[in-house]
Amino acid sequence: MPKFLALRDAIRDHVADGACVALEGFTHLIPFAAGNEIIRQGRQQLHLVRMTPDLIYDQMIGAGCARRLTFSWGGNPGVGSAHRIRDAVEQGWPRPLELDEHTHAGMAAAYRAGAARLPFGMLRGYIGTDLPQHNARIGSVRCPYTGEEIAAVPALNPDVAILHAQRADRRGNVAITGITGAAREAALAAAKLVVTVEEVVEELPPAMNGIVLPHFVVTAIAHCPGGAWPSYAQGHYARDNGFYRRWDAIARDRAQFTAWIDRHVRGTADHHAFLASLRLAA
Amino acid sequence: MSAWTRDEMMTIAAARLLADGMVCFVGIGLPGAACNLARLTHAPGLVLIYESGTIGTRPSVLPLSIGDGELAETATCVVPLPEIFSDYLQAGRIDVGFLGAAQIDRFGNLNSTVIGDYAKPRTRLPGAGGATEIAAHAREVFIVMKATPRSFVPRLDFQTSGGHFPGRAVSGATGSGPAVVVTDVGMLRPQGPRNELALAATYPGIPAQEAVAAVGWPLAIASTVESIAPPAAAELEALRALEARTAAAHREPVRLPL
């Protein structure tokens, strides 16, 4: 049975300095509130894992939370660069960032293997790319039946996965609808799972083939409406594409970025206050 | 209808390549406009797949990201991302992978990873995303990129995705590689035993010399060069309406139900 906690307590209890942490959600249901809380609590030296480190990791890396990044695509979707990630890679600011770089198909295989507690994932992948020359963790195995050489990636088993979901019921079952990306795989690959939710309901609607994470795989749940903003929660609010565009100018400059984080993240007590500081909540 | 721009010609020429009923994996950026224009004009049965897991999506506006809510709401189904890459792409169910990139070389190899040295890059780009495996496993690959000598280069800084690289046939790649590169100054197609890209089509009023000047390697001219018809009024109207709807939708303020 997961614990229902305030987000502050969930992060304090389950995200330690130096931990391997995966905040997942593929354009949809990105756990921004949790990312902000990690910044607020000043976590350091994290090994961040995420297929698409976009604004959420731009913020966390720019705020100095990370030492290492496992990823397959890092940018501001449809807008351009993740400027803070670029600055960390190109200039080592605010600290150097070690890269463990993959392709989407490779990351997906690594999460799937992690979820199944297998040592590695395999795929017919990393073909025609220089990536394996720069990442010694990308290997290969020989099929015992056909002799075919197949790419291999070590399983991903983060210390904690953090997701945002539409709803949980009072027993702690978590339901996600819409685009799920690799959220389910990341959740099951991690040792612990922390979920922020838009709403807590008595009874979930029948899921049929929808994605449900049953209560016994969930460690902690924090009720956090608006917790995916500026990404979106299908059925609750749309993606704030205007903010993704505005972020480009905020993140381009170190001083401007730091001022934004100081004012809106470090300078607010919680996610509701964060949204209020941006005039998104009363 | 007013005169067309080169960007419009590029998008319309790219859209025309997609036949009705094809299953198309849509890459981030320029490909999205071409794929959706095709679906809204001559190819209503085009099946668009985005890496976010949306299959058969029919958005009325172009998404900013490859996972906007509109893509899920209008899809035939939404599946987890690992399934898209393993059970659809790797399993050989994609007819066309449509890609863009920061750099391309004469064999259609693509770079979307770094400019400069990998360990100490001048410009860190987003990275592979889905492109490496799309380039390997889609039956055919279409590429759309604006041509400049900085982007059409003799030598890539980093090879993210494979085109007609040596050994492709025995590499495990199941697709046949780049079939066409659509630019704003003409279209290139592979030719000869090494599948080197050559100018294969020109647009009205844009001479072959302009394409040659925009490409950073000595561009070969194909033995027959097709003349592409100018955008039809209906194509231009559909593209401009799509872009206007998109701009209006992206200006809508978001309200959180708090």
Of A270, A195, A232, A198, nearest to A55 by C-alpha is A232
Residue B255: its pLDDT value, please? Answer: 87
8 Å CB contact between A105 and B133: yes
A132 touches chain B (CB under 8 A): no
Cα Dmax for chain B: 64
3-class SS at A87? helix
Residue B252 has pLDDT above 90, yes or no: no
Q: Which residues of B touch A230 (CB under 8 A)?
A: 254
Task: With a cut of 70, say whether residue B5 has pLDDT above it.
Answer: yes
- d(C-alpha A269, C-alpha B99), whole Å: 43
B161 neighbourhood in chain A, CB within 8 Å: 128-129
Instruction: Please report the pLDDT score of residue A210 as a whole number.
Output: 74
- Domain annotation covers residue B256: no
Task: Say how far apart CA B161 and CA B206 lie, in whole Å.
Answer: 30
d(CA A240, CA A278): 13
Residue A266 vs residues A39, A93, A258: alpha-carbon distances, Å: 7, 19, 10
- The answer to which of A153-157, B5-9, B24-28 has the lowest mean pLDDT is B24-28
Instruction: Indicate the length of chain A as a whole number.
Output: 282
Residue B227 lies in a domain: yes
Q: Is residue B239 part of a domain?
A: yes
- Tell me the chain A residues in contact with residue B133 when contact means C-beta distances shorter than 8 Å: 103-105, 123, 125, 127
Quote the CA–CA distance of A174 and B68 in Å, as a whole number: 22
Q: If phi over 0 gives left and psi between -120 and 50 gives alpha, with beta otherwise, what is residue A181?
A: left
**pLDDT for position A232:** 97
- Residue B89 reports pLDDT greater than 90: yes
Does residue B1 register a pLDDT over 60? no
The verdict on residue B187 lying in a domain is: yes
Q: Which residues, listed in sequence order, are joined to residue A213 by a DSSP beta bridge?
A: A174
CA separation, residue A176 to residues A23, A165, A195, B91 (Å) = 15, 5, 11, 27
Predicted complex ipTM = 0.96
Out of A26, A230, A239, the one facing B81 most closely (by C-beta) is A26
What's the pLDDT at B257?
85
What one-letter code names the amino acid at A156?
Answer: L
Burial zone of A269 (CB within 10 Å; 0-12 exposed, 13-18 middle, 19+ buried):
exposed
The residue of chain B nearest to residue A231, with distances taken between CA atoms, is B68
- The Cα–Cα gap between A243 and A58 comes to 14
pLDDT of B254 reads 87
H or E stretch covering B39: helix B30-40
Count Cβ atoms within 10 A of the Cβ of residue B53 and give its class: 0-12 exposed, 13-18 middle, 19 or more buried: buried
Portion 115-174 of B in contact with A at CB < 8 A: 118-133, 135-137, 158-163, 165, 168, 171-174
Task: Say if pTM beats, i.e. exceeds, 0.90.
Answer: yes
Domain ranges of chain A: 3-102+157-277, 113-154
Asked if residue B197 belongs to a domain, the reply is yes
Closest CA to B214 of B226, B202, B196: B202
In a domain, B258, yes or no: no
* CATH number corresponding to A3-102+157-277: 3.40.1080.10
pLDDT score at A206: 79
Mean pLDDT of B173-177: 97
For residue A109, the surrounding DSSP H or E stretch is helix A104-115
pLDDT tens, residue order, chain A (282 aa)? 899 999 999 999 999 999 999 999 999 999 999 999 999 999 999 999 999 999 999 999 999 999 999 999 999 999 999 999 999 999 999 999 999 999 999 999 999 999 999 999 999 999 999 999 999 999 999 999 999 999 999 999 999 999 999 999 999 999 999 999 999 999 999 999 999 999 999 999 877 667 889 999 999 999 999 999 999 999 999 999 999 999 999 999 999 999 999 999 999 999 999 999 999 988
Which of A108, A111, A238 faces B69 most closely, judged by CB atoms? A238
The per-residue pLDDT for A209 is: 66
Tell whether the torsion through CA atoms of B62, A180, B84 and B133 is positive or negative: positive
CATH number for the domain spanning B187: value is 3.40.1080.10
Contact between residue B108 and residue B163 where contact means Cβ atoms under 8 Å apart: yes
Q: Is the dihedral of CA A141, A142, A146, A151 positive or negative?
A: positive
Does B255 fall in a domain? Answer: no
Mean pLDDT of B124-141: 98
Q: How confident is the model at residue B29 (pLDDT cuts 50, 70, 90)?
A: confident
The label of the residue with tokens 């209906």 reads: B234
Q: How far is A121 from chain B (nearest CA, A)?
A: 11
Taking the CA of residue B135 and the nearest CA in chain A, the distance in Å comes to 9
Quote the domain boundaries for residue B22.
Answer: 6-250
Asked if the structure places residue B76 within a domain, the reply is: yes
What confidence score (pLDDT) does residue B2 get? 65
